């Protein structure tokens, strides 16, 4: 029986802190090439809302929306680091920046490309069941 992995992380200055729990299984990171992610080197670790806890006040965050305005990009109001945000690709989950996790988390992820410059087609590939997309569980 596998154990859950408890992970904490946050921004550079510590004004934004969070923790979450992941099942101890294969962890995938999405490596997106959209205009935002390619500039910030954001590696997406998708965490269900129910498994995520913001440890610091929401007021420590500044919100930014662009394009379709569906995604809510959240930045530390003090240091400007985006350690997590609400993506449009996963409305039921947070996208946590793998680079913002504390050391010693024990995750050994694999990275999967996500073509955010062609968002609709990339999202359709994510939405396909594993058998249809050729991915194994």
Q: What's 48's domain CATH number?
A: 2.170.150.70
Number of compact structural domains in the chain: 1
Q: Is residue 110 part of a domain?
A: yes
pLDDT at 113 over 70: no
Which pLDDT value is given to residue 128? 63
**Average of pLDDT values for 74-93?**
95
Query: Is residue 137 in some structural domain?
Result: no
pTM of structure: 0.80
Span between the terminal Cα atoms of the chain, in Å: 18
The answer to the question of residue 29 being in a domain is yes
More confident residue, 116 or 74: 74
DSSP character string of 77-132: TTT----EEE-SS-TTEEEEEGGGBPTT-----EEEEE-GGGHHHHHHHHHS-HHH
In a domain, 134, yes or no: no
Stretch among 9-18, 23-32, 48-57 having the lowest mean pLDDT: 23-32
Residue 125 located in a structural domain: yes
Could you read off the pLDDT of 37-75 as tens digits, one per residue? 888 889 999 999 999 999 999 999 999 998 888 889 999
User: Which domain, by its residues, includes 71?
Assistant: 4-129
Dist. CA 64–CA 96, nearest whole Å: 16
Q: Is residue 135 part of a domain?
A: no
Specify the pLDDT at position 123.
Answer: 81
């Amino acid at each position: 029986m596998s154990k859950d992995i408890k992970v904490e992380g946050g921004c550079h200055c510590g004004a934004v802190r969070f923790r979450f729990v992941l099942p101890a299984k294969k962890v995938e990171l999405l490596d997106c090439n959209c205009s935002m992610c390619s500039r910030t080197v954001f590696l997406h670790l998708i965490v269900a809302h129910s498994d995520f806890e913001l440890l610091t006040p929401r007021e420590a965050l500044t919100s930014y929306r662009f394009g379709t305005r569906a995604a809510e990009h959240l930045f530390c109001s003090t240091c400007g680091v985006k350690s997590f945000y609400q993506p449009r690709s996963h409305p039921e989950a947070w996208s946590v920046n793998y680079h913002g996790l504390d050391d010693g988390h024990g995750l050994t992820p694999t990275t999967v490309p996500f073509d955010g410059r062609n968002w609709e087609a990339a999202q359709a590939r994510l939405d396909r069941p594993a058998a249809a997309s050729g991915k194994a569980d």
